[in-house]
Every structure is written in structure tokens, then in C-alpha cells.
Amino acid sequence: MLCSNPECRQHTVGSHESKDKSTSIGIGAHIEAASQGGARYNANQSAAERSSFDNAIWLCSICATLIDKDEKKFPVALLQKWKTDVDNESADRLKVRTVAAAVPKSVTSKPSLAERAAANKAMREKELTRNAFLRTPEALDAARSQVERIITK
């Protein structure tokens, strides 16, 4: 897990001397303070809203301290944006991994040189045939009227 501050992005979980433990310097900080007098305290929030996931942002301990020391510099809207950006980023990363995992091994394994050469040749031939076909006036007319049909639909 990384700190949600885009200018920081510190890793918040690291290794520990004991193999079964990890060291975390991450904090689920409040976007709007948990109690009156805290940074960005919102009197209109219910107790449930204050302790909800939506009101928390994952930060390293330094950034968690910073945002509470200077609430003018770190308003609610900014912290919510950090959170949304991080959510989108991790969603994107997950998507990439999921797609990569879904591709069968046979597709990702490297084709041999001969296979690649054959594929290239087939692609070139296909392209050439298509171009040659469009170069005849009849083919061009047919293509034009097809486009017009699509446009006037």
C-alpha cells in the first residue's frame, strides 16, 4: 500500500526482523476529523459517517500528520481527490493484471522466427490485396456508396 499523497507515494508496509510480521507506517487518517476541534471537522456528519470508509484516507505517518497540522493546505476536496485518484490507479492496475492473466499461455509464449515471418507475410499479403482491390474504380465506387449509405442512415 502506498501513501495516497501524490507527491509522496511512500510505501507504507515493509519487511520486519521477524518473518511473520511486517512493519506498517500507514495510517487510515480521517478526511473530516473524528472529533470536534480536529482538522476539517464537520458538525453535520453523523457518527457513522465519521467512522466510515468514505471518510478515511490511507497515508504514511508523515503525511497523516501534515494534513492535520495544516487543514487550509489540505482541504476536504483535495484529500477526496487524492483518494479517488488512488482508487482509479489501483483499479487500472488490477485491470491490466486481470487481462494479462486471462490471456492463455499459448498466446503469450513467443512465436518462433518462422511463425513470425509467416504471420508478417500473411498480413502484408492481406493488406496488398485490400489495397489492390480498392484501386479498381468499381471497388472505389462500391466503397463510396457504402459510406454514403452509412452516413444517410
Please say which residue, 33 or 60, places its beta carbon nearer to Zn ion.
Answer: 60
Nearer to Zn ion, 45 or 68 (CB): 68
Minimum distance, C-beta of residue 28 to Zn ion, in the bound complex (Å): 13
Taking the complex as a whole, how short is the minimal distance between the CB of residue 58 and Zn ion, in angstroms? Answer: 9
Strands (E), the chain: 13-15, 22-24, 26-30, 56-60
Tallying the residues shown for the chain, one arrives at 153
**Dihedral pair phi/psi, residue 20, rounded to 5°:** -85, 5
* Pick 27 or 33: Cβ nearer Zn ion: 27
User: By three-state DSSP, how is residue 111 classified?
Assistant: coil
Residues engaged in binding Zn ion (CB under 5 A): 3, 5, 8, 10, 60, 63
Q: Of 97, 93, 117, 115, which Cα lies nearest the Cα of 106?
A: 115
Q: Select 29 or 63, whichever has its Cβ closest to Zn ion.
A: 63
Least separation in angstroms between residue 62's CB and Zn ion is 5
Q: Residues 26, 30, 31, CA angle at the centre, nearest 5°?
A: 115
Residue 24, all three cell numbers: 506498517
CB of 45 to Zn ion, least distance (A): 25
